Amino acid sequence: FNKPYLVLELDEHDSSVGYETRVEAAVRAFTNHNNQSSKEKNHDISHLNPKFLSKIVNETIIYPNYDPYTGALIVSILKNEGFNALLTEETTETLKKSILTNTGQCIPLNAIAAGFIHTVEKNNLDPSNCVLWLNHSEIACNIKMYPYHIKKILEKNGCGFEKSEIYKGELSLFDISFLTSINAYYAYMFGGLLRSMGCKIRPYEIHKGETDSVLQKALRILCNAFEKSEPREDALKIVLEMFLKIETRTETRPKVGIFGDLYVRDNAIMNQNLVHFIEDNGGEVITTPYYKYVKIIASSYFKKWFKEGKYLSLMSNGALLVAMQTMEKKYYKYFEPILSKSAFEVKDSYKDILPEYGILQEHTGESMDNILKIHHLINEYPDLKLLVQTNPAFCCPGLITEAMAQKLEAKINVPIVSITYDVSGDNKNKVIIPFLTDSERKHYSHSLKVSV
C-alpha cells in the first residue's frame, strides 16, 4: 500500500530498551509520509474483505471430510435438497501438500483447502462451478478466519480455483430449512452412533475386518435413506440386524476415551488411524458422537448468547435442540442393543463444572468444551483407563487444554495423553502404548504424556 509501517516484537520482560527509539523513528517516518506533497491515490483494499457466495444454486458443493460417517450422511441430505454435493477426499498426500500453504495457522485450514483442490481435480470438475462449504462460527477459536484465508489460498493456487466460491453455512444446515436441520441432527446422531457401535464390536470380532465391512454397508444403507427420503426406521432395523450377526468373543480391554479437535478426532487420515491403533494394541475406544457433544456444551452457549443479545442463534438452535431431544429416543432404541446404554442425558450443569477450573460462564471455545467433554465422558464411563487428546499442530486451544491436563488428572484420576499431529509422517500414536500395556498403573512421568 506504499505506506511506512512499524512492527514491534514484544518480549514480555517489561523492558523498554530499543522500543522507544523505534517508535520515535516510526513517528518521524509517518510524519514525513503524511507531509509529502504528492498524495498517493486511494488503493482498492476490497480484497482484504472478500465476498462469499450468499446462495447456492447450480454449483457443486464440496463438503469437508472431518468425519467420513457423518460427512457422507450430510452430503446425502444436501443431495436430497436438490444440490450437487461431494464429500472431500483427503489423503496423506493432500495433507503433505497442505503444509506448503501453512504460515503458522492450525493445519486443518490448509488441509481443507488442499482436499478441496484434490477433490475438484480428481472428479474433473470446473473449479469456477464448485463451492467449498465452511461452517459459520462465533467461538473464540479462530475458525472464523478459515473462509478468508482459504479464499486467498485458492486464489494463489490459480488454475481456475481463483474463481471457486466459499459458502459460510450453519453446522446444523438451519440456513437451508428447519426440516433440513432436523435431518442434519439425525445425521450427526446416526453417524456418531455408527462409529460407537464399530468401536464397541470391532476389538472383539472373531473374523477380522467383518465390523469395518458391515460399517461401510450400513453407511450406504443410511445414506440411501437420507438421500431418497426413505423411512429411517426401516433402514436402522436392517443395520441393527447386520451388527447383531457379527460373531464376537468375550474379553476385557482397557477403555480409552478420545477427545480434542473436531477436525482431527474422527479423521482417520489426519490422526493416523488412531482408533485402529488403540485396538491393535489391546484397547477399546470410547468416542463422543457429535450430537452428544452438542448436548454437553449447549447450555453454556445458550446462556452466553442470551447475555450477548444473539437471540436469533439462541431461538433457532434452542428450538432445534428441544425438538431433537424429544424425538431422538424414537431412533436410539435401534442402537441400544449394541451399545448397552440408555439414551445420553446431561446430568451435571456446566455452572458446577467450569468454576473448578477458573473458567467463567461467558467463556467459549474448544478448551472449555474439552473440560465439559472430559467430565461427561468420565461420568458416562467411570471405568475409563486413559484419555487421549488429539490436536493438529499450531492448535491454540489444544495447547491450553494440554496445560490444564495435570489439574484435570488430579480430579478425575485418569491419565491424559496429548497427541499433536503435524502430518510429517512419523508415527505419533506410539506414545499411547505404555499406557495400554500397563493400564492399571496410576502414576506416569509427564514426559510420557505428550507426543513429540
In this prediction, residues 232-247 reach a mean pLDDT of 96
DSSP string, 31-63: HHHHT-SSPPPPP--GGGS---BS--SSPEEEE
CA 102/CA 152 separation, integer angstroms: 12
* pLDDT recorded at residue 448: 57
63 compared with 441, residue with greater pLDDT: 63
| Mean of all residue pLDDT scores within the chain | 84
74-122 pLDDT per residue, tens: 999 999 999 999 999 999 999 999 999 988 888 999 999 999 999 999 9
**Hey, which of 31-45, 175-189, 200-214 has the most confident mean pLDDT?**
200-214
* pLDDT recorded at residue 22: 76
CA 343/CA 193 separation, integer angstroms: 11
**C-alpha pair distances (Å), 126 with each of 111, 117, 200:** 20, 11, 42
CB 277 within 8 A of CB 268: no
Cα three-residue angle 176-178-179, rounded to 5 degrees: 95
Q: What structural domains does the chain harbor?
A: 60-178 (3.40.50)
* pLDDT recorded at residue 39: 57
